[in-house]
Amino acid sequence: MGKEAYSIGANTFAFFTRNPRGGRAKDVDPEDVAAFRAFAVEHSFATLVAHAPYTLNAAAKDSRVAEFARETFADDLKRMEATPGQLYNFHPGAHVGQGPDVGVEKIAAVLNEVLEPGQTTMVLLETMAGKGTEVGRTFEELAAIIDRVKLDGRLGVCLDTCHIWDGGYDIVDDLDGVLDEFDRVIGIERLRAVHLNDSKNPLGAHKDRHEKIGQGHIGFEALSALTRHPALRRLPLILETPTELDGYADEIARLREAWR
Ligand code: FE
Ligand code: FE
Ligand code: ZN
């Protein structure tokens, strides 16, 4: 993964801790980890952003689904310590008709069970588009979860540009206003990573359909400005655009070019 990222001009990457649809994870191979860590130092890699499986729903109504979330979360966090000090991002969950308040309580309860005082991994709640019954579509919902977690020093937020745009936050015409609101509601120091995506849909659509950088409703200018914003420019920026390896290489090159 490190070599592939390096080959397209990246100095960070996201990876799934297991099959994104869930299931058992491969055992950690200590040799592979050691080789990666040496490569990352040699090529000045930044912090990595692991992604939890999509099927993990900490807000689930069904107790088996909730149990899977707890077990997967705990197992992933143990495995993440093989590469200390990285980020682990997850979709807060879907309340499936129980209401956002119940969703918030359940997600916080899972976090209170799985976070360990000694862990070096930061757990990030991802901002969501508000599709279906997703929890985390407003900064207030994320703040409510964080407020209920005891070891909140291990918690942060990953800002997905497609999701907050679809959620109604205007990062095209008022990026400063959106970040001020983030700071007021959550605290800007919680912002630890960005998923950099364009959106196939207009502001507030609540759809969550990612688009290639510059080909959607957010556009290249706004996304590029975001990567250069003082509050964001030092964070790991992860592309989740619907493209292939050469497409990512091109997006990275264009964004880097605008950075200079
Ligand atoms: Fe995600
Ligand atoms: Fe994302
Ligand atoms: Zn998405």
Show me where the domains of the chain are located: 2-257
CA of 51 to the centre of ligand 3 (A): 12
Q: Does domain 2-257 have CATH number 3.20.20.70?
A: no
Whole-Å CA distances, 258 to 14, 222, 227: 23, 11, 9
Distance from residue 38's CA to the centre of ligand 3 (Å): 32
Residue 203 corresponds to which tokens in the numbers above?
């502001």
Cβ(167)–Cβ(201) below 8 Å: no
Q: Would you state the pLDDT for residue 25? A: 87
Among 153, 159, 144, 143, residue whose Cα is nearest residue 232: 159
User: Is 229 annotated in the active site?
Assistant: no
> Nearest Cα to 161, choosing from 210, 123, 233, 124?
210
Q: From the candidates 43, 54, 62, 221, give the one annotated as an active-site residue.
A: 54
206 assigned to active site: no
Catalytically annotated residue among 76, 134, 208, 251? 208
Q: Residue 223: in which H helix or E strand, if any? A: helix 220-228
Active site residue 163: yes
CA distance 186 to 140: 7
pLDDT in tens for each of the 260 residues of the chain?
A: 999 999 999 999 999 998 888 778 888 999 999 999 999 999 999 999 999 999 899 999 999 999 999 999 999 999 999 999 999 999 999 999 999 999 999 999 999 999 999 999 999 999 999 999 999 999 999 999 999 999 999 999 999 999 999 999 999 999 999 999 999 999 999 999 999 999 999 999 999 999 999 999 999 999 999 999 999 999 999 999 999 999 999 999 999 999 87
Write the DSSP string, 13-66: -EEESS-TT--PPPPP-HHHHHHHHHHHHHTT----EEE--TT--TT-SSHHHH
Instruction: Spot the catalytic one: 76, 79, 95, 126.
Output: 126
- CB contact set of 221 (below 8 Å; sequence gap of 6+): none
CA 53 to chain centre: 12
- Residue 162 C-alpha to ligand 2 middle, in angstroms? 8
91 noted as active-site residue: yes
- Quote the pLDDT of residue 123: 98
Are the C-beta atoms of residues 96 and 59 closer than 8 Å to each other?
yes
How far is the centre of ligand 2, averaged over its atoms, from the C-alpha of 78 (Å)?
Answer: 23
Q: How far is the CA of 91 from the centre of ligand 1 (A)?
A: 6
